[in-house]
Chains A and B, each alone.
Chain A
C-alpha cells in the first residue's frame, strides 16, 4: 500500500514526480530519529536530550531501546541547551532535540554562549522547522533560526533536503568536535539523491545542470525547485538546481558559479526572506561583483498566512508553479537588461 499523496504538490506536480520516477521517502524527522538511534547503539557516548519532545521528535523507540542515553528535561528549552552543552563538556556527543521555534528563540543565549562560545561537541536539532506547524500560527513557526544562528560563530548549520541528506547530516554531526545545528520539518520527503552521491559539509550538491537560470534552495523547498526545473525544460529552459544543505559554512564557489554561468538566480527557503539563504547568496554575489538578477523566495516580512504547510508554500510561491513562474519573470528581466 502506497502512502497517501503529499498534499504539498499539485496534481500536475505529482504527475511530474511520477514521470521522473522519484521515490517517496519518509519524513526527515523519522530518518533523523532512526539514524541517531543506529549511531547511538554503536556509540554509547551519544546522548539525546529532549524537552517533552520525544514524541514529536520520533525518539520514542530511541528512548525504549537506549533508556540510559536519553535525558528528558521537560518543557524547558534554556535548560535543554545548557544540559546539552554540559554533557558535551563532560565527554559526551550530545544531541539536544526540540521544536526549532522554541529551541532557537527562547534558548538563543544558551546556544550562543554555552554551545558556540564554549565550542563543545553539541548538536542542536530543530524539529518541525519553518512552517511545518502550519495552522498553529506564528508562535510555532521558525522563520528566524537560520538568520539568528548565521550571526553566531563556531556553528555549522545543516538543512537537509531529503532522507539521504538527513542521514549524512546526522552522521557528520555525530562525528563533529564542534557545534552543529540541523533543522528540518515533518512532512514526508521525496528522495532526490542517488544513494552513492557524496554529502560533504560545506559543499553544495548540484542536482541538475543548466545555464539559463539557477535555483539555489535548501531543505524542503529543493524538491519544488527540481520540479520547476523540469517544467521549465518543457519550454526549452535549462535550469540548474543546487541543494545548499549547508547554510554555514556556505559553499561560495557554487553560488558564484551559478551567478556567473546562469542568466538569473532564484533562491528558495522555508524561512523569512530576511537573513536566510537568499540574503546570504546575495551577499556572496555582490561582494564578488557578480551582478545577476536574483529573486529571494521565502516567507515575506508579514504576518504569515494561516493554513497548512502546503497552503503556506503555495501562497508564497514555493511550488513548482510559483517557482517556475518566478524564474520566467526573472529571465525576462535578465533579457531586458542585456
Chain B
C-alpha cells in the first residue's frame, strides 16, 4: 500500500469514527483523530496480525494503553476484517461489546484497557513471555502523553530496560493536550525524550502524521537490548479544522451541524487526494 493509499484510508477512518461517535453521542473524538495515522501504519504496514492468525502465538501484539481513543481502533479492526463494520452502529449502546474502552469481547483486542498507566506493564509481561519462548513477534503499545503522569508507566519503563526488551515498542501519541488543558500546564512530562533515554530506552521522534516516517521507524530493526519509544508528534483533532488543538474535543461529541461540517471537510480532502492520484 502506497503512502497515498494510506492517506486516503486515514481519511476514511476519520469519516467513520466521526460518524459512529456522533451517532452514539459518546466517545473521544480528539484523541482518536490524533492517533488514526499511527494505527493505520501499524495495522496496514507494520504488524503481522489478522483475523486469520489471531489465535496463533506468533502474531504481533498491540495494546492500546490510551484506551479512550478506542473508536479509532474499532474502525481499523473492522477494516482489517475482524468484524463487519455495521456492528459499530451499536457503539456504546445497550449490551454492545463496543464500549467506550477496549475489551476482549471485541475480536482483535488483546487486553481490556482504558484505566491509564496499565498498557506498558502488560506489554512488559508480553515481551518477557515472548523472549522466554524465543519468539520473534513484536509487542506494540500506544501511550497518551497525559497518561505519563501515572507512575506505573515509569515502573514499567524501568523494567523494560532492565530486561532489555528490544521486542517492545511504545508509541507516544504526543498531541500535548489532555482533558484539563495543555500537558505542560497540567503536569509537564517534558523533556519526555530525555526521560525515556535516561531510563535506558532507544528514543525516536517522528511526525505522527507522516506515513513514510512512521513506517521507517516502526519497521526499523530494533536496537539490540533496548526497548524503543517512538515519540510521535501529533495534532489532537487532526483532519477537522475546528477540532485541531482544541482541548474541548478531548471527549466532545459533534452536534449534527458540526458533524456535517467536519464530514464536508474530510470529503473535500478526500477529493483533493483523489485528484492528486
CB proximity of A76 to chain B, nearest CB, Å: 4
Q: How far is the CA of A113 from the CA of B150 in the complex (A)?
A: 15
Query: Which residues of A lie under 8 Å from residue B156 when comparing CB positions?
Result: 79, 82-83
Q: Which of B103, B112, B155, B163 interacts with A78 by CB under 8 Å?
A: B155
Kindly supply a per-residue 1/0 record for chain A positions 68-96, scoring 1 wherever the CB is within 8 Å of any chain B CB and 0 otherwise: 11010110101101111111111110100
Kindly supply a per-residue 1/0 record for chain A positions 109-140, scoring 1 wherever the CB is within 8 Å of any chain B CB and 0 otherwise: 11001100111100000000000000000000
Q: How far is the CA of A78 from the CA of B159 in the complex (A)?
A: 12
Q: How far is the CA of A76 from the CA of B155 in the complex (A)?
A: 6
Q: Which of A68, A81, A84 interacts with B132 by CB under 8 Å?
A: A68
Residue B126 interfacial (CB < 8 Å): yes
Query: Which residues of B lie under 8 Å from residue A114 when comparing CB positions?
Result: 111-112, 118, 121-122
A87 near B112 with CB under 8 A, answer: no
Q: How far is the CA of A113 from the CA of B158 in the complex (A)?
A: 22
Q: Which of A69, A74, A78, A94 interacts with B125 by CB under 8 Å?
A: A94
Give chain B interface residues in 96-119, CB to chain A under 8 Å: 103-104, 110-115, 117-118
Cβ-closest chain B residue relative to A120: B111
Q: How far is the CA of A84 from the CA of B125 in the complex (A)?
A: 6
B151 near A78 with CB under 8 A, answer: yes
Query: Which residues of B lie under 8 Å from residue A76 when comparing CB positions?
Result: 152, 155, 158-159
B128 near A118 with CB under 8 A, answer: no
CB proximity of B169 to chain A, nearest CB, Å: 15
B122 near A92 with CB under 8 A, answer: no
Give chain B interface residues in 155-172, CB to chain A under 8 Å: 155-156, 158-159, 163
A113 near B118 with CB under 8 A, answer: yes
Cβ-closest chain B residue relative to A86: B125
A114-B118, A117-B112, A118-B111 are known contacts. Are A90 and B152 too (CB-CB below 8 A)?
no
Give chain A interface residues in 234-257, CB to chain B under 8 Å: none
Q: How far is the CA of A255 from the CA of B115 in the complex (A)?
A: 37
A83 near B111 with CB under 8 A, answer: no
A90 near B111 with CB under 8 A, answer: no
Query: Which residues of B lie under 8 Å from residue A117 when comparing CB positions?
Result: 103, 112
Residue A264 interfacial (CB < 8 Å): no
Task: From B103, B151, B152, name the one whose CB has the most chain A CB atoms within 10 angstroms.
Answer: B152
Report the interface size class on chain B. Answer: 20 to 34
Q: How far is the CA of A114 from the CA of B123 in the complex (A)?
A: 11
Query: Which residues of A lie under 8 Å from residue B132 when comparing CB positions?
Result: 47, 68-69, 92
Chain A: residues with Cβ within 8 Å of the partner, total of: 30
A91 near B121 with CB under 8 A, answer: no
Query: Which residues of A lie under 8 Å from residue B142 when comparing CB positions?
Result: none
Q: How far is the CA of A68 from the CA of B156 in the complex (A)?
A: 19
A83 near B115 with CB under 8 A, answer: no
Cβ-closest chain B residue relative to A83: B125
Kindly supply a per-residue 1/0 record for chain A positions 11-22, scoring 1 wherever the CB is within 8 Å of any chain B CB and 0 otherwise: 000000000000
Task: From A68, A89, A120, name the one whose CB has the most chain B CB atoms within 10 angstroms.
Answer: A89
Cβ-closest chain B residue relative to A88: B125
A76-B155, A76-B159, A82-B156 are known contacts. Are A90 and B125 too (CB-CB below 8 A)?
yes
Kindly supply a per-residue 1/0 record for chain A positions 193-213, scoring 1 wherever the CB is within 8 Å of any chain B CB and 0 otherwise: 000000000000000000000
B128 near A87 with CB under 8 A, answer: yes
Cβ-closest chain A residue relative to B123: A86
B126 near A89 with CB under 8 A, answer: yes
Residue B57 interfacial (CB < 8 Å): yes
B contacts, CB < 8 Å to A: 57, 61, 103-104, 110-115, 117-118, 120-130, 132-133, 151-152, 155-156, 158-159, 163
- Given A89-B122, A94-B125, 19 more contacts at CB 8 Å? A47-B129, A68-B132, A76-B152, A76-B159, A79-B124, A79-B155, A79-B156, A82-B124, A83-B121, A85-B125, A86-B123, A86-B126, A87-B126, A88-B125, A89-B111, A90-B128, A90-B129, A91-B57, A110-B118
Ranked 8 nearest A-B pairs via Cβ: A86-B125, A82-B121, A90-B129, A79-B155, A76-B155, A83-B125, A86-B122, A78-B152
A contacts, CB < 8 Å to B: 47, 68-69, 71, 73-74, 76, 78-79, 81-92, 94, 109-110, 113-114, 117-120
Between-chain CB contacts (< 8 Å), 21 pairs: A47-B132, A69-B132, A73-B159, A78-B151, A78-B152, A79-B155, A79-B156, A79-B158, A79-B159, A83-B124, A83-B125, A83-B159, A86-B111, A86-B122, A87-B126, A90-B125, A91-B57, A92-B129, A109-B115, A118-B111, A119-B104
